């Protein structure tokens, strides 16, 4: 089994890096995403959910998620 160097889960800091927006704005966007996918506040967003919501291919987002 090969170890992947890309994380599956997506955090506010990742969105800040991608969008260039402030933390508060990114937290609001993350909440909108959780509401859209009907997730509880403790559940994590995945790369694929964020990709679907933002309509950006996952291949373009994944370089920002390297550990």
Long-range contacts of 8-15 (CB under 8 A, 24+ apart): 8/46, 8/47, 9/44, 9/45, 9/46, 9/47, 10/44, 10/45, 10/46, 10/47, 10/49, 10/50, 10/65, 14/64, 14/65, 15/50
> pTM to 2 decimals?
0.84
**Position 2 confidence tier, pLDDT thresholds 50, 70, 90:** low
pLDDT at 38: 97
pLDDT tens, 8-57? 899 999 999 999 999 999 999 999 999 999 999 999 999 999 999 999 99
pLDDT at 60: 92
pLDDT at 1 over 50: no
């Amino acid at each position: 089994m090969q170890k992947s160097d890309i994380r599956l889960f997506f955090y506010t800091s990742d969105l800040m890096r991608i969008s260039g927006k402030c933390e508060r704005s990114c937290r609001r966007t993350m909440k909108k995403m959780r509401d859209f996918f009907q997730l509880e506040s403790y559940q994590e967003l995945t790369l694929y959910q964020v990709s679907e919501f933002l309509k950006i291919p996952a291949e373009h987002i994944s370089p920002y998620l390297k550990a």
